Amino acid sequence: MPHRSESERIAALDAALEALCGAFGPSGHEFQGVAERIAEMVRPLADELRFDALGNLICIRRGAPGAKRVMLSAHMDQCGLMVTEITDGGFLRVAPLGGLKPSLLFYRQVVFANGVRGIISHESAVKENEAELKHLYVDIGARDGKEAGELVSVADVCAYAPFAVRLHGGLFSAPAADDRAGCAVLIEALRELESPAYELAAVFSVQEELGLRGATVSAYGLRPDLAVALDVCPTGDTPNAQPLGIKLGSGPALKVMDAHSVSHVGLRGHMQSKASELGIPVQLEILPYGGTDAAAMQKSRAGIPAATLSIPSRYVHSAVETVSLHDAEKAVRLLAALLEDPAAGGL
């Protein structure tokens, strides 16, 4: 692998995360920003680069002749909101794209693909702790419905307005870190590679937040022999949090199971052994809810051995998703080492 120091990898991840989290890309609308930004970043690292019919960005990196194919999937979509109605008063009613709770949305700034910005609020007669998504609206500053309709249309989508904050200890906080953190790790792992032991199909998938749709079709078309998803996972290290056993800054996590998949035991074990060999601390993730692209990949065709390499994140699906650059750097090193080791091909 090219020699880069830990600090150089962290700096590269920081820059990649800022660029990716600043790109627009709600589920189903990745083409309006983030897809092209990722394409620009991975084009020098690819032997072949293409978009499929659903919008997945597929980056092929060739290995030795006859090598097994490994699919790596990091979803590039983010949760968002779609305009369903423009009121006479110029406010926007919206529906969710992905799993957004009302409490995460109050008084947040959002942005549309055309640059129009707005503020989310709720009907004043409804208490915050009782508000449902149907009680929310977006205020874009329009004086009436006619003016609002000149700025946005029904079916337009918005997402949290981008910003990035660096916290103490190498923490990076921004909207869309789920899963632009996974995208950044995948990009930087491709950059680390000199001699992949496999043919790699790095997929930056679409519509994960709407039911793993992108990974479903790309896995079917690519027919990989092995598959690894890269995604964030929630932590249990904040006050009175659900006890999940995952802490920020304690290394990447290897998913054991979630509500939609059980990681292939042999592949997960190989990943854990490789981490131990490299001296990289890893955590075991057992999640009673949620799911990743691994669930779609492992059920493709007659079945594919699949696992998930997770980047711990606080405040998932909020406007302040927070990850550790140190965890991400360790994930880059582990993933690159796995892809240069032919041992997993025997699973």
In this structure, what CATH number is given to the domain that contains residue 68?
3.40.630.10
Residues 213 and 302 occupy one common structural domain = yes
Residues 198, 54: one domain?
yes
pTM greater than 0.75 (yes/no): yes
**Residue 169 domain-assigned (yes or no):** no
* Greatest Cα pair distance in the chain: 66
Within-domain flag for 191:
yes
The verdict on residue 289 lying in a domain is yes
Q: Does residue 99 sit in the same domain as residue 187?
A: no
Structure-block tokens of residue 32: 């309006």
Examine the domain organization and report whether 239 and 293 are in the same domain. Answer: yes
36 annotated binding-site participant: no
Q: Is residue 170 part of a domain?
A: no
Q: What is the pLDDT of residue 1?
A: 47
What tens-digit pLDDT sequence spans the chain (347 residues)? 457 999 999 999 999 999 999 999 999 999 999 999 999 999 999 999 999 999 999 999 998 888 999 999 999 999 999 999 999 999 999 999 999 999 999 999 999 999 999 999 999 888 888 889 999 999 999 999 999 999 999 999 999 999 999 999 999 999 999 999 999 999 999 999 988 999 999 999 999 999 999 999 999 999 999 999 999 999 999 998 888 899 999 999 999 999 999 999 999 999 999 999 999 999 999 999 999 999 999 999 999 999 999 999 999 999 999 999 999 999 999 999 999 998 876 66
Domain count, the chain: 2
**Cis, bond preceding 179 (omega within 30 deg of 0):** yes
| Side-chain-facing half-sphere of 340: CA atoms under 13 Å | 15
Do 207 and 235 reside in the same domain of the chain?
yes
The answer to the question of residue 166 being in a domain is no
Evaluate whether residue 338 is within a structural domain: yes
In a domain, 165, yes or no: no
Say yes or no: 140 and 277 in one domain.
no
Q: Which of 160, 192, 213 is the last residue of a domain?
A: 160
Find the CATH number of the domain harbouring 108: 2.40.30.40
Note the helical H segments in the chain: 6-21, 34-42, 102-105, 145-151, 177-192, 213-222, 265-278, 293-298, 325-339
Which one of the listed residues 30, 188, 199, 208 is annotated catalytic? 208
One domain, residues 201 and 287: yes
Whether 309 and 188 map to the same domain: the answer is: yes
Report how far apart, in Å, the C-alpha atoms of 192 and of each of 179, 181, 186, 226, 347 are: 20, 16, 10, 20, 24
What is the pLDDT, as a whole number, of residue 128? Answer: 82
Q: Is 3 annotated as a binding residue?
A: no
Given 128, 160, 192, the domain boundary residue is 160
209 is in an annotated binding site: yes
Residue 127 has a CB neighbour count (10 Å cut-off) of 9
**Any known ligand binding at 317?**
yes
Within this chain, do residues 28 and 85 fall inside the same structural domain, yes or no? no
The pLDDT, as a whole number, for residue 344 is 73
Q: Which of 127, 160, 193 is the last residue of a domain?
A: 160
Give the three-state DSSP class for 2: coil
208 is catalytic: yes
Taken in order 23, 104, 13, 270, the sign of the CA dihedral is negative
- Is position 168 annotated in a ligand binding site? no
15 occurs within a structural domain: yes
* Domain assignment of residue 93, given as a range: 80-160
Together in a domain, 254 and 325? yes
Both 289 and 212 in a single domain? yes
On whether both 250 and 313 belong to a single domain, the answer is yes
The whole-number pLDDT of residue 64 equals 83
